[in-house]
Amino acid sequence: MEEAKSQSLEEDFEGQASHTGPKGVINDWRKFKLESEDSDSVAPSKKEILRQMSSPQNRDDKDSKERFSRKMSVQEYELIHKDKEDENCLRKYRRQCMQDMHQKLSFGPRYGFVYELESGEQFLETIEKEQKITTIVVHIYEDGVKGCDALNSSLTCLAAEYPMVKFCKIKASNTGAGDRFSSDVLPTLLVYKGGELLSNFISVTEQLAEEFFTGDVESFLNEYGLLPEKEMHVLEQSNMEEDME
């Protein structure tokens, strides 16, 4: 019920957000407050003031001119000087709406960093027990092998940009099959989903430039359709918009 109410309030707010800029947003927020508050909890005089403040009249109108020129009451003064407080409340409200939207658009578990696997058993457990909808990218590496450190750094960045993908790394010597992963075939990338091996890239850096970066690894994986579409960073975009207002 609360989720439906939140969605309804969000739709009502968005439908009324006809103003732009800080003052326009505040007017919309006052209107939202007026319509969402219980009528029994708000004094009629306060409701009328809020209504007037959220719906400015044509200043050419005689009554409107008198209303704007008359001496301000203490109650109006307090309401006007609550602009900053109202704006903070509005920011929290908008951020909550964005969080709800973000949650609805995000499916499955989220990771955000590279997991270090310590043994072959942990490697197998990760592949077999992870949710079937999750793509798992495993980097088999060894210290001192060319390209391994750079690939680990790139995967760390990609893990933050694709939190729905589980990125892992394991030393070849810890896999229990070190003889199969000699330095000649490292670094190796294995990609799994639903317990099935999707791709196996041996000496993967040979398919990249001698000096490669995160974008190069991302493009390489995208060529094989192994990364999902980037999700919109809704909350970050919302914060940027608020800072620009």
Q: What does the domain layout of the chain look like in residue ranges?
A: 18-54+71-103, 114-224
Average the pLDDT over each of 62-71, 105-114, 197-206 and give the range with the smallest value: 62-71
Write down the architecture of domain 114-224 according to CATH. Answer: 3-Layer(aba) Sandwich (3.40)
DSSP secondary structure letter of residue 226: -
pLDDT tens profile 110-156: 899 999 999 999 999 999 999 999 999 999 999 999 999 999 999 99
Quick one: average pLDDT of 201-215? 93
Q: 23-37, 87-101, 108-122: which has the minimum mean pLDDT? A: 23-37
Q: What are phi and psi of 138, to 5 degrees?
A: -115, 125
β-strand pairing of 196-201 with 188-193: antiparallel
Of the candidate ranges 3-7, 34-38, 167-171, the one whose mean pLDDT is the lowest: 3-7
Q: Which of 42-46, 87-91, 170-174, 203-207 has the lowest mean pLDDT?
A: 42-46
The terminus-to-terminus CA distance of the chain in angstroms comes to 33
Q: Which CATH architecture has domain 18-54+71-103?
A: Orthogonal Bundle (1.10)
148: tokens are 């391994």
CA 64 to chain centre: 45
The mean pLDDT of 62-81, rounded to a whole number, is 56
Rounded CA separation 165/135 (Å): 5
* 109 against 72, higher pLDDT: 109
- The single-letter code of the amino acid at 208 is L
Is 53:137 a contact under the CB 8 Å cutoff?
no
Given this chain, do its domains 18-54+71-103 and 114-224 carry the same CATH topology?
A: no
Question: Is the C-alpha dihedral spanning 156, 162, 163, 166 positive or negative?
Answer: negative
Q: What is the model's pLDDT at position 76?
A: 60
Reading the block at residue 7, the tokens are 């969605």
User: What are the tens digits of pLDDT across the range 157-204?
Assistant: 999 999 999 999 999 999 988 788 889 999 999 999 999 999 999 999
Q: What is the pLDDT averaged over residues 55-77?
A: 54
CA–CA gap between residue 30 and residue 36 (Å, rounded): 10
In the predicted structure, residue 24 carries a pLDDT above the cut 60: no
Between the CA of residue 67 and those of 45, 46, 70, 130, 158, what are the distances in Å? 15, 15, 6, 66, 59
Structure tokens at 42: 């708000």
What is the pLDDT, as a whole number, of residue 89?
Answer: 74
